[in-house]
Amino acid sequence: MPISKQGQAVGLGWPWQGGRIVTAAILSALHVLALGVGLGSAFMRGRYLRALRGGPDPQALHRLFTADTLWGVAAALWLLTGLARAFGRVEKAPEFYLRNGFFWIKMTLFGSVVALEMWPMATFIGWRRARREGRPLPGFDGLRTLVVINDLETALVVVIPFAAAAMARGLWLF
């Protein structure tokens, strides 16, 4: 692309347009990176939950908490970058998203993950607090349910990119 004497790309419109393209690329990359971090951490969290079936192993517990923290960071990154992409007008107008059936499927899937996460999040907060205070871990009898919830969340995270890909290509606009 040709560059003007002022150092701006020619043909991109007014000067901020080039910044918008960079912003869009960064937000997109962070959104996709959050998928990798989130999927990996959810998978590992499931492995460490299964490792705790034999009892509260300190090493497995530490790794579980690390994976859970990364899972939370990924969720926050998805939410923040998703809101910026959908409503920040850096790529498409908000109307594109709001009139797209696959956007609503994607939001329903993400909302389902968030809803499923409420009990594990509260449980892990309790476990962290108990460990910090030197008390026995409460609620360890619900380990099987935590594994099932984690597996459901992982499966939903795998499905979300398919809805996102269809959405980004403008399928099912109404």
Whether 4 shows a pLDDT value over 80: the answer reads no
Residue 50 dihedral angles phi and psi, to the nearest 5°: -65, -35
Q: What confidence tens digit (pLDDT) does each residue in 75-133 have?
A: 999 999 999 999 999 999 999 999 999 999 999 999 999 999 999 999 999 999 999 99
pTM of the model: 0.86
Of 89, 125, 92, 114, whose CA–CA distance to 16 is shortest?
A: 89
Q: pLDDT value at position 2?
A: 52
Whether 134 shows a pLDDT value over 90: the answer reads yes
Q: pLDDT value at position 82?
A: 97
Q: pLDDT value at position 56?
A: 85
Q: How far apart are alpha carbons 51 and 124 in whole angstroms?
A: 15
Q: Lowest-confidence range among 3-7, 88-92, 154-158?
A: 3-7
